[in-house]
Amino acid sequence: MSQVISSLSRSVIPAPMAGGPTTPELVRAAHAAGSFGTLGVGSASIDTARTQIDQCAGIPFGVNLFCPQQPLSGAQRTAARELAEAENQPLPDPDYSFGFAEKLDLALRGGARVVWSMFGTFTPEQIERIHAAGAEAWTTVTTSAEATAAARRGADALCVQGPAAGGHRGTWDLAATPDSRDLEELVSDVHTAAPDLPLIAAGGLRTADDIATAMSWDGVGACSCGSAFLLTEEAGTSDYNRQLLRRGGQTVSTRAFSGRFARGLETQYTRSHPNLPPVYPLLNPVLKERRAQHDDAVAYCLVGTEVEKINGGTVANILNELCQNPQ
């Protein structure tokens, strides 16, 4: 059993949300309320990752990293170039490593209790380093095959992410179409594949009843909620995205947000590009200028299902709502 999970006095942990929403303040607030917070530095610069890790010193915390990605194929690169030309934008040279190795070093030197991988898992050698530093290795999985691979590498816990989750779907294969089965079925499959590992259920959990139900599933030791914390005082969610979330609307899972499958508020761009090819991480730079101008047609507001159930308040408020005994 994961020592971090077994030490929690709350059954809910805030999900690591890259791109700004998960701040050191949110991580500290989660710890103060009896939970556990994890920085989402997968897409952050090295300097930002270093600063955020330093700001969490003195408390137990985690660091979430994006695993290195294979370069885009020639056809994928051509598709990205065509999208850039349509927007009259240059196509940058991407960093397919996402600074993984350096950020892993920063996390371990900074005292992280958990290093949590997204879009893949660690090598056995990396897990040995993580353990030698006194930390745990967690991995997000979306299939039983991914769970089996992570367990064989030596992972300490698996976050099982279902289709209702906001943000990027953690599929290890960029080109794969994500498994659309509901969270309960995915958790059951993963538990069968990795029966000795504690599971963290994630995706679409909005109420105390949802949490209690997920905690009753075999193997589940905790639940991870991201969207539920987007409107908290401690979150780094932009003012623009806070307005979009309060306005609400339908969410859709599509590559049209970033080139990887992700769930967010539907836009004109997602409707007009339903079959966008896998061009991550090149789509964000192509649309960066329009998004900086708050063009609703290309808004990048990643969030899970049932947006209307997301409340404001503090991190402690949300944890109290989610972890109360259901009526």
Residue 294 DSSP one-character state? T
Characterize 194-211 residue by residue with b for buried, 16 or more Cβ atoms within 10 angstroms of its Cβ, and e for exposed.
beebbbbbbbbbbebebb
DSSP state of 239: H
Phi and psi dihedrals of 133, rounded to 5? -85, 0
Q: Are 166 and 125 in contact, with CB atoms under 8 Å apart?
A: no
In this model, does residue 326 exceed pLDDT 50?
no
Global confidence as pTM: 0.96
Q: In what helix (H) or strand (E) does residue 79 lie, and over which residues does it extend?
A: helix 74-86
Question: Tell me, what amino acid is at 53?
Answer: I
Single-letter amino acid, residue 13? I
Each residue of 115-169: pLDDT tens digit? 999 999 999 999 999 999 999 999 999 999 999 999 999 999 999 999 999 999 9
Domains in the chain, CATH or no CATH each? 3-74+95-238+310-323 (3.20.20.70)
**Which tens digits make up the pLDDT trace of 16-65?**
999 999 999 999 999 999 999 999 999 999 999 999 999 999 999 999 99
